[in-house]
Chains A and B, each alone.
Chain A
């Protein structure tokens, strides 16, 4: 027991115990459903959900197949996320560099920070409608703060001597931001992007539950109204999978950044 916690397991043990865990989980779930302890209508078995998932890929529900709904969700997400990054990152970097800007923006930002992104739904619907504009504002509200905060922190905590070295070489302000602050805070920014993507994706789902006429969130609400638990759960599965893919891509970016020594 040399390490901090109880001894490390071998790969076989980990795999074995993990399988037991999954089997227990699926077993209890199926057991509850098959035994009738929980009505099947409210808790379908894992297998039923999988087959519903596959069926939804070809049979439209609530105006589209699963992948059509997913596509419109992902597109909205992409708009909101890129908007959040495109405004948040440069603004954060500049706030890290120009003190006055920091002092002006920070109080506004701090005041707005405590509004849960989803609380923007009524204004979003009022200002931009329920098609694509409204949901994008809500994704933006989720994705923007982490981008800004991490770019700002990255720029604020850059090694002073790097900046001084750049100044000593007569580098202009703009160039210091793009060639010193940006690369030096890349790791922090990418970490912020991961958080942003998570919050943005979840805000999107929330927005679609409330105001939208397409998308997986909308699909879930329709399924809920139809009391079709297997469709709700299939949609949850799809949402989880897409969220996971987004995170894996960003994790891959993070690893690439680290490999290039920008961490």
Chain B
């Protein structure tokens, strides 16, 4: 493991040095195509202190975070129960599945123009698109989670005379939980992708807005900052979710140990 980290560090360091040299002293890459480290630093300073594209960096970040969180929560709140219901009841599945199959092949990003038509360029349209994007993975995975429960676990619960709601809370949901979390992870990724796309298409604030304006201004340093922020936020929220997963499913950690 040590060797792995060492090599990883060396690689990143080499790349960083190469980046510095190629954009600076060696002039291999034109600054109009890719920013040099000082360019990036200058852009970062500009957006954090003076602001860019209608706002300071933290305002853009908070705005994007807020929309992702809102869309994600709404999607999970509707998708997971629906998936559980479809997994549990064959009737519900039979009714909902055909409609779901019609809507499912439409990629989430294809909803953006419709959302703008319906709700304009504001936040509501973004939340709607994120909801649609994040909804599908959480439905599918919760559904699969229920379908994959071993039949004898359910029989054991029935044999013990478990009442319906206790069964849902203490057997169905925990048994499906690992896959519910898988679905949530996919939903989170989808939320970010969709948000960035929606903000690129049209927005007043947000990271996508930074990217959009920077693209129009042909401002590589700012594009870099925008992309880095998207990556860091994506990474951080994924880590957060993984942490929540570890804490809510202690028995799985025990099984791995």
Interface residues, chain A, CB within 8 Å of chain B? Answer: 2-9, 13-14, 16-22, 24-25, 42, 100, 103-104, 106-108, 111-112, 114-123, 125-127, 198, 201-203, 205-206, 209-210, 217, 220-221, 223-224, 227, 229, 232-233, 235-237, 239-241, 243-244, 247
Contact = CB atoms under 8 A, between A and B. Distances in A.
Given A21-B98, A114-B234, A115-B234, A103 B7 contact: yes
A206 B89 CA distance: 36
B117 A206 contact: no
Interface in B111-142: 111-114, 116-118
A118 B200 contact: yes
A205 B99 contact: no
Contacts of B3: 103
B21 interface: no
Given A210-B201, A241-B105, A122 B215 contact: yes
Interface in B64-102: 87-91, 94-99, 102
B44 interface: no
Interface stretch (B50-58, B147-155, B240-248, B249-257): B147-155
Nearest to B9: A107
Contacts of A8: 90
B184 interface: no
B4 to A, nearest CB: 5
A233 B4 CA distance: 50
Contacts of B192: 116
A137 to B, nearest CB: 13
Contacts of B214: 122
B27 interface: no
Contacts of A21: 94-99
Contact of A17 (B9, B91, B106): B91
A220 B114 CA distance: 9
Nearest to B111: A236
Given A5-B87, A5-B146, A107-B11, A116 B200 contact: no
B90 A126 contact: no
Given A5-B146, A114-B231, A118-B193, A104 B106 contact: no
Contact of B147 (A5, A100, A127, A210): A5
Nearest to B195: A116
A25 B111 CA distance: 18
Query: Which among B3, B114, B147, B238 has the highest number of chain A CB atoms within 10 Å?
Result: B114
A233 B114 contact: yes
Nearest to B146: A5
A223 B116 CA distance: 11
A117 B91 contact: no
Given A21-B97, A25-B99, A229-B117, A209 B211 contact: no
16 contacts: A8-B90, A9-B91, A13-B91, A17-B94, A18-B95, A111-B12, A115-B231, A118-B109, A122-B214, A123-B223, A210-B201, A220-B110, A224-B117, A227-B117, A235-B113, A244-B105
Q: What 5 A-B pairs have minimum CB-CB distances, sorted nearest first? A: A202-B107, A122-B215, A17-B94, A224-B113, A107-B8
A217 B87 CA distance: 34
A53 B13 CA distance: 54
B11 A229 contact: no
Contact of B90 (A7, A203, A221): A7
Given A111-B231, A210-B200, A205 B109 contact: yes
Interface in B190-243: 192-193, 196-197, 200-201, 208, 211-212, 214-215, 218, 220, 223, 226-227, 230-232, 234-235, 238
Given A5-B89, A18-B94, A21-B98, A126 B112 contact: no
Given A7-B90, A237-B106, 19 more contacts: A9-B94, A21-B98, A22-B99, A24-B95, A108-B11, A111-B12, A114-B234, A114-B235, A119-B196, A119-B227, A205-B109, A209-B200, A209-B201, A224-B116, A227-B117, A232-B113, A232-B117, A235-B110, A236-B106
